[in-house]
Chain A
Amino acid sequence: MSMNTVKIKVNGSLIVKEIESRWLLSDFLRDKLGLTGTHVGCEHGVCGACTVLIDGEPVRSCLMLAVQADGLEVETVESLAGDDGSLHPIQKAFADNHALQCGFCTPGFLMSVKNFMENHPDLPTDEEIREAISGNLCRCTGYSNIIKAVKEAYVL
């Protein structure tokens, strides 16, 4: 078994752990760190449910080995709310606009949107938002409330 020791900063805390080299980052986060907010929907890089931020950039955690994240910073959905449990503006906007139904894809959307808003500080058009979230599949909402929520997050 090929094992590796990884040092990864996950949601601000440094994690040092032994992990088999073939383990996917998504499984590492969920099974080894208990961060089950990152969901696994397709494991071939299409659905986007497993999106996390690596050094601030959105990445499919099912298309990355945990060992590849060695030395990098990972942010998952669990990092968004404040220490007091208060929702991040993006989360609040999702709740206010009924932008989730079953909620399975939601963490992936939230992470994609967080990065998008950081890179696009000015209020985007609907088309820009559509493109920004096009790498995340949602089977429940039909997307339109997600687009509304993203716009609202800009003013929160």
Chain B
Amino acid sequence: MKPPKFSYLRPNNLLEALEMLAEYGDEAKIMSGGQSLIPLLNMRLSTPAYIIDIGRVEELKGIRDEEDTIVIGGMTRHADVEKSPLIREKCPLLSEGIRWVGHNQIRTRGTIGGSIAHADPSAELPCMLTALRGEIVIVSNEEEMIFSPQEFFLSYLLTSLEPNQLVKEIRFPKIKKGSGYAFEEVARRHGDFALVEVAAVIELNTDGTIADAKIALGGANSVPFIPEETEGFLIGKLPDDSILKEAAVLQLDELDPEGDIHGSKEYRRYLSGVLLERALYKAVERAREGVIA
């Protein structure tokens, strides 16, 4: 289990990185944290001619506060997001969900951009980004573009990234005052890939009815799934137990998870409903408690 031969390129800034990508993109793999790429190299399941290590590109690192949005550079590590007081205060869903990503020793190296670009449908970040209706900023040496998660995630491990592009930053909307949030996941062991997961943000009106519902399910389809009908169903309703129960199973038929030895398709589909109900319940409870100041 040793990596195959490759040429190693290490740009010192974004411009250099983009030039290298323009030149070698077709035969190159970008390495940010390497936590998904290096196992593939060690197993020789990936044999790129070039590896472009963007670990030293400072422009891609850091967490910025921009009015209603928290902007996280693509090369920012999970551990930095986990520790950020700004995120804990303004987008605590992210602080909570990111703790489900692997283990500490993975989060110290793995990056936000890497996870988004890898597009594993059961990964936590794509699910949370989708629930929050965030945006992905893509850059090449020619242009910069902004994608919604629905536009960006195309299928299992497949995105709209072109070989000459990289994930510059990810824009996470802050959670509004009066909202509650929840991240629910089950995995076989602590730190394993999710069987399924749910991220939800519920905003309540002062009369206790639901003003807005934003939900995403991970691991339930080939890309993070937004149950739009369920969201629409919830808006305007008083969220009592029976409403949440009904909402949770409304769109289960539309889920098409991959079955494997850890859980069949049917089980994962069913489980999505269980977790969605739990997530809605918790998000509503938190909204009522006024957890977001």
- CB–CB under 8 A between A and B in the complex? yes
Name A's B-contacting residues (CB within 8 A). Answer: 1-2, 4, 21-22, 24, 27, 43-45, 48, 51, 54, 57-60, 62-65, 67-68, 112, 115-116, 131-132, 134-135
Complex contact B8–A65 (CB within 8 A): yes
Which residues of B pack against A, CB within 8 Å?
1-8, 10, 31, 34-35, 38-39, 41-43, 51, 53, 55, 79, 102-106, 108-109, 190-191
Contact of A135 with B42 at beta-carbon distance under 8 Å, contacts A2-B6, A24-B3 already known: no
Cα A156 to Cα B1 with chains together (Å):
40
A60 to B10, CA, bound (A): 21
A–B Cβ pairs within 8 angstroms, 15 of them: A2-B5, A22-B5, A24-B42, A43-B42, A44-B43, A45-B35, A48-B105, A59-B109, A60-B35, A68-B34, A131-B190, A132-B104, A135-B102, A135-B103, A135-B191
A133 CB → nearest B CB, Å: 9
Asked if residues B2 and A45 are in contact (CB atoms below 8 Å), the reply is no
A-side binding surface: helix, strand, loop or mixed? mixed
Q: B1, B5, B103 — which one has the most chain A CB atoms within 10 A of its CB?
A: B103
Smallest CB separation, B183 vs chain A (Å)? 16
Docked-complex contact B104 and A112, CB < 8 angstroms: yes
A134, B43: Cα distance in complex, Å: 24
Nearest neighbor of A43 in chain B, beta-carbon distance: B1
* A1-B38 Cα distance, complex, nearest whole Å: 19
By a CB distance below 8 angstroms, the chain B residues around A112 are: 104-105
CA distance in complex: A82, B190 (Å): 35
Chain A nearest CB, measured from B270 CB (Å): 27
The one of A43, A54, A135 in contact with B104, judged by C-beta atoms closer than 8 angstroms, is: A135
B288 to chain A, nearest CB (A): 27
A29 CB to closest chain B CB (Å) equals 15
Q: How far is the CA of A1 from the CA of B6 in the complex (A)?
A: 8
Question: A59 touching B105 by the CB < 8 A rule?
Answer: yes
Complex: A4 Cα to B241 Cα, angstroms: 61
Closest to A3 in B: B8
Q: Is the CB of B190 within 8 A of A134?
A: yes
Most chain B beta-carbon neighbours within 10 Å: one of A43, A112, A132: A43
Residues of B within 8 A of A45 (CB): 35, 38-39, 106
- Most A Cβ at <10 Å: residue of B31, B43, B104: B104
With A22-B3, A60-B109 already in contact, 15 other A-B pairs whose C-beta atoms are closer than 8 Å: A4-B8, A21-B51, A22-B8, A24-B2, A43-B1, A57-B79, A57-B108, A58-B108, A62-B38, A65-B8, A131-B190, A134-B103, A135-B102, A135-B104, A135-B106
